[in-house]
C-alpha cells in the first residue's frame, strides 16, 4: 500500500530558522557537564576548540574563470591523540558547523575508546550543483582538493590530524589528499588519511563501516527493547554512504525499508522498497525520487512516516521541536551527526523514543578508520572477518556502557554517552596538566 504525502515541504522555513550547530553542541556539552559536575576550569578548556584554521584559496574552473573557495580545518581537542574527523564539501559549510562536528568527533572517539582527538574540515562548495545547477567536474574537484590539502597541510599528518570522508567526499577524494600530501613530503604516506581505496592502503569494510555499525547498535537496541527486526519498518533520510548502505544492510536482515530520501526529496511504499532497485534508479536518474512503485514525498514528510526505526543519515538540524511531536517511531538511530536539536531530544525522551545518539550510532565509521590507520602504520592488512569481529566488539561494549549509564543515572542515551565521553577526555586533560 502506498501512502499519500501529508504536508507541504517545510525545508525553506526550516533553513531560515536553522539552529546554529556550534551552539547546539555546546548546549549538549553543558547538559552532560552539569550531570558529571565538571569543574569550571575543565568546562573552559573542553567547551572551546583548540585550533580553527580558515583558508581562502583560488581554483581555476573548467571555463577558465577563477573562483576563491573558503575552507576550514578545526581541532577541538587532541589530548587523547591525533585529531580525527572527516572533510565535508557542501554549500552550507560554515566555521560553526565544522567546530560542532569537531567537538562531536572528540566525544565520539573517547566514547569508543579510540586513541584520537576530535577534528573536522569542510569547504563551502557545490559539488553536485544542487544550488548552482552545474555539478563540478572531476578536474575541478581534484584541483580544489589538492589546493585545500596544501592549505591545511600545516595541520594534517599521521601523528597530528587524520582526515576522512564526510558529506560529498569520496575514496577518490581521499586518494587525492594522500597523493598531494605524499608529493610534498617526497614519499608515500598512506596513513595521513582514511577512507582511501583499498588499492592505496584503504581498509576492507571501511565503505560500509558506518552503516554496519548502525545495524549492530540497532540489533542491540532491538534486543534491549525486546523487539523483532523481522519486517520492522525502516525510514531513512539521506541516501549517500551512510544511508544507502544502511538500507541494504537492514534489508539483508529482513527489515522492511519503507521510505528513503536524498537532497531532492524521497519515496515511500509501506509494502517495502528494494534497495538494489533504489540504487539502480539513483544511478540512472541522480535521485531516489520518481522510483517506480513508490510515491514521492518531501524530506519533511518522510521524517513523519510511521515506522519502527528512523535513520536520519543526511545533515544536522532535521528533527526539531517543530516535527518531533509528530514523529512516530520506536528507535531513532542517528547516522548523521547532529540531526536532533536539544529541544527535540527532550520531546522524544518524554515520548519514550529510544534514541541511539550520533556519537555512538555512527561510530562504526571512525572505528574502521582507526583500523585503517593502524593497518597503514604497520603495513599489515587484516581480512574482512577480523575487521567485522573487532568492530562488533567495540560497538557492543560502547552500547552497553551507554545504556547502563543512562539507566543508572535516569538520563537519556545522548546525555549518558556524552557523560562517559566527556569524563574520559577530562581525565586525560587533567592528567596531562596545563602547559607550561
Say whether residue 241 binds ligand NAD (CB under 6 A): yes
Q: Which long-range contacts (CB under 8 A, 24 or more apart) does 338-341 make?
A: 338/21, 338/24, 338/25, 338/100, 338/101, 338/104, 339/237, 339/312, 339/314, 339/315, 340/312, 340/414, 341/19, 341/24, 341/317
Say whether residue 203 binds ligand NAD (CB under 6 A): no
| Closest C-alpha to 190, from 203, 201, 174 | 201
Say whether residue 167 binds ligand NAD (CB under 6 A): yes
Kindly indicate which of the ranges 35-43, 196-204, 330-338, 343-351 contains the residues binding ligand NAD, using the contact rule CB under 6 A: 330-338
Backbone angles phi, psi at 287, to 5 degrees: -150, 160
Say whether residue 240 binds ligand NAD (CB under 6 A): yes
Concerning whether 120 is annotated as a catalytic residue, the answer is yes
The binding track of 5-44 with respect to ligand NAD, each residue x by CB under 6 A or -, is: ----------------------------------------
Backbone angles phi, psi at 69, to 5 degrees: -95, 155
Q: Which residues pair with 257 in a beta bridge?
A: 234
Q: Which residues pair with 157 in a beta bridge?
A: 161
Rounded to the nearest whole angstrom, what is the least distance from the CB of residue 49 to ligand NAD in the complex? 17
Say whether residue 210 binds ligand NAD (CB under 6 A): yes
Q: Which residue is nearest to ligand NAD (CB)?
A: 240
Say whether residue 194 binds ligand NAD (CB under 6 A): no
The binding track of 359-378 with respect to ligand NAD, each residue x by CB under 6 A or -, is: ---x--x-------------
- Residue nearer to ligand NAD on the CB measure, 320 or 337: 337
Report d(CA 233, CA 166) in Å as an integer: 27
- Residue nearer to ligand NAD on the CB measure, 269 or 362: 362
Say whether residue 289 binds ligand NAD (CB under 6 A): no
Rounded to the nearest whole angstrom, what is the least distance from the CB of residue 337 to ligand NAD in the complex? 4
Whats the size of the chain, residue-wise? 436
Report d(CA 148, CA 122) in Å as an integer: 9
CA atoms within 13 A on the CB side of 145: 29
3-state secondary structure of 396: helix
- Residue nearer to ligand NAD on the CB measure, 229 or 297: 297
DSSP 8-state class, residue 319: B
DSSP 8-state class, residue 137: P
Report d(CA 1, CA 191) in Å as an integer: 49
- Which is catalytic among the residues 99, 108, 120, 282? 120
Say whether residue 323 binds ligand NAD (CB under 6 A): no
Kindly indicate which of the ranges 44-52, 74-82, 142-150, 241-249 contains the residues binding ligand NAD, using the contact rule CB under 6 A: 241-249
Say whether residue 320 binds ligand NAD (CB under 6 A): no
Active site residues: 120
Interacting residue ranges for ligand NAD, rule: CB under 6 A: 165-168, 210, 237-243, 261-263, 299, 313-315, 335-337, 362, 365
Amino acid at each position: 500500500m502506498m501512502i499519500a504525502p501529508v504536508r507541504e515541504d517545510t525545508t525553506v522555513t526550516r533553513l531560515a530558522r536553522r539552529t546554529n550547530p556550534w551552539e547546539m553542541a555546546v548546549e549538549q556539552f553543558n547538559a552532560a557537564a552539569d550531570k558529571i559536575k565538571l569543574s569550571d576550569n575543565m568546562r573552559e578548556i573542553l567547551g572551546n576548540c583548540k585550533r580553527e584554521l580558515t583558508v581562502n584559496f583560488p581554483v581555476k574552473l573548467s571555463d577558465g574563470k577563477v573562483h576563491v573557495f573558503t575552507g576550514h580545518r578545526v581541532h577541538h581537542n587532541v589530548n587523547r591523540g591525533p585529531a580525527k574527523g572527516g572533510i565535508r564539501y557542501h554549500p552550507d559549510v560554515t566555521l560553526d558547523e565544522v567546530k560542532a562536528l569537531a567537538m562531536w568527533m572528540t566525544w565520539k572517539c573517547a566514547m569508543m575508546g579510540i586513541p584520537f582527538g576530535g577534528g573536522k574540515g569542510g569547504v563551502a562548495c557545490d559539488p553536485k550543483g544542487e544550488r548552482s545547477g552545474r555539478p563540478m567536474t572531476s578536474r575541478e574537484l581534484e584541483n580544489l582538493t589538492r589546493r585545500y590539502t596544501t592549505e591545511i597541510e600545516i595541520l594534517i599528518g599521521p601523528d597530528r590530524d587524520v582526515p576522512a570522508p564526510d558529506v560529498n567526499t569520496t575514496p577518490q577524494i581521499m586518494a587525492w589528499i594522500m597523493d598531494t600530501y605524499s608529493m610534498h613530503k617526497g614519499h608515500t604516506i598512506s596513513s595521513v588519511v582514511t577512507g582511501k581505496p583499498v588499492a592505496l592502503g584503504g581498509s576492507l569494510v571501511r565503505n560500509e563501516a558506518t552503516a554496519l555499525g548502525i545495524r549492530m547498535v540497532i540489533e542491540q537496541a532491538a534486543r534491549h527493547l525486546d523487539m523483532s527486526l523481522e519486517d520492522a519498518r525502516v525510514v531513512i533520510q539521506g541516501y549517500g554512504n551512510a544511508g544507502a548502505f544502511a538500507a541494504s544492510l537492514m534489508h539483508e536482515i529482513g527489515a522492511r525499508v519503507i521510505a528513503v530520501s536524498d537532497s531532492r526529496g524521497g519515496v515511500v511504499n509501506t509494502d517495502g522498497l528494494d534497495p538494489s532497485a533504489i540504487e539502480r534508479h539513483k544511478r540512472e536518474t541522480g535521485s531516489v525520487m520518481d522510483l517506480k512503485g513508490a510515491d514521492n514525498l518531501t524530506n519533511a514528510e518522510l521524517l513523519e512516516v510511521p515506522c519502527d526505526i528512523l535513520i536520519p543519515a543526511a545533515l544536522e538540524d532535521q528533527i526539531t521541536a517543530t516535527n518531533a511531536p509528530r514523529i512516530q517511531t520506536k528507535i531513532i538511530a542517528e547516522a548523521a551527526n547532529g540531526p536532533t536539536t536539544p529541544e527535540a531530544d527532550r520531546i522524544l525522551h518524554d515520548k519514550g523514543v529510544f534514541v541511539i545518539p550520533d556519537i555512538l550510532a555512527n561510530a562504526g565509521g571512525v572505528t574502521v578508520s582507526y583500523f585503517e590507520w593502524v593497518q597503514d602504520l604497520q603495513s599489515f592488512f587484516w581480512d574482512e572477518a577480523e575487521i567485522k569481529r573487532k568492530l562488533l566488539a567495540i560497538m557492543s561494549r560502547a552500547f552497553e556502557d551507554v545504556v547502563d549509564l543512562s539507566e543508572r543515572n535516569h538520563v537519556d542515551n545522548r546525555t549518558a554517552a556524552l557523560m562517559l565521553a566527556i569524563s574520559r577526555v577530562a581525565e586525560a586533560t587533567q592528567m596531562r596538566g596545563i602547559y607550561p
